[in-house]
Amino acid sequence: MKHAFYYLFFAVVLFSSCNKEKLPVDETSEKKCRIVSADMVFNPEKKTDAAYYTGSAIVNYDEKSNIKSIISTQDSAFRSFSVLFTATQLTLKTKYNGDWIYKLDGQGRVIYVEFYNGAIKANLAYNADGYLSSLIKTDSYSGSQMSYTFNYADGNLIKATGVNSLNGNTETLEYTYTNDIAIDLTSNANPLYYLEINEVIPGFFGKTSKNQLSSVKQTSMSKNYGSGYSFSYSFLHTRDSEGKITSMKIGTIYAEINPGVPNYIRGSWNSVYNFKYQCD
- Residue 30 above 60 pLDDT? no
DSSP code of residue 13: -
Judge contact between 6 and 218, C-beta under 8 A. Answer: no
* Burial (CB count <10 Å: 0-12, 13-18, 19+), residue 206: buried
Half-sphere exposure of 99 (CA within 13 A, CB side): 9
Single-letter code of the amino acid located at 263: N
pTM of the predicted structure, to 2 decimals: 0.84
Q: What angle do CA 116, 117, 120 make, to 5 degrees?
A: 55
- Residue 23 above 60 pLDDT? no
Q: Following DSSP, what letter does each residue of 152-186 receive, concatenated?
A: EETTEEEEEEEEETTT--EEEEEEEEEEEEP---B
Q: What is the mean pLDDT of residues 104-127?
A: 93
Half-sphere exposure of 89 (CA within 13 A, CB side): 11
Confidence of residue 76 (pLDDT cuts 50, 70, 90): low
- Residue 44 above 90 pLDDT? no
Query: For position 135, what pLDDT does the model report?
Result: 97
Q: What angle do CA 231, 183, 280 make, to 5 degrees?
A: 150
> What Cα–Cα distance (Å) separates residue 68 from each residue in 44, 65, 90, 139, 177?
30, 8, 11, 29, 30
Tens of pLDDT, residues 133-157: 999 999 988 889 999 999 999 999 9
Share of the chain above pLDDT 70, in %: 85
Cα separation, 72 vs 57, in Å, equals: 4
How many structural domains are present in the chain?
A: 1
- Of 60, 83, 62, the C-alpha closest to 71 is 60
Cα separation, 3 vs 140, in Å, equals: 12
- Of 188, 171, 201, 202, the C-alpha closest to 233 is 188
The strand ranges marked E within 12-79 are 33-42, 53-61, 67-72
Cα separation, 180 vs 211, in Å, equals: 5
Q: Which helix (H) or strand (E) holds 233?
A: strand 228-239
Confidence of residue 122 (pLDDT cuts 50, 70, 90): very high
Across the chain, mean pLDDT equals 85
* Pick from 81-85, 100-104, 198-202: least confident: 198-202
Tens of pLDDT, residues 51-73: 566 888 998 888 877 788 888 88
Give residue 194's domain range: 2-279
**Alpha-carbon torsion 164, 186, 94, 135, what sign?**
positive
More confident residue, 53 or 94: 94
Q: What is the mean pLDDT of residues 70-83?
A: 81
Q: Which domain CATH number covers 182?
A: 2.40.160.190
Query: Quick count: other Cβ atoms within 10 Å of Cβ 234?
Result: 16
Cα separation, 109 vs 106, in Å, equals: 7
- Residue 247 above 50 pLDDT? yes
Tens of pLDDT, residues 153-193: 999 999 999 999 999 999 999 999 999 999 888 888 999 99
Query: For position 45, what pLDDT does the model report?
Result: 75
Q: What is the mean pLDDT of residues 99-125?
A: 93
**Alpha-carbon torsion 265, 271, 272, 276, what sign?**
negative
- Residue 25 above 60 pLDDT? no
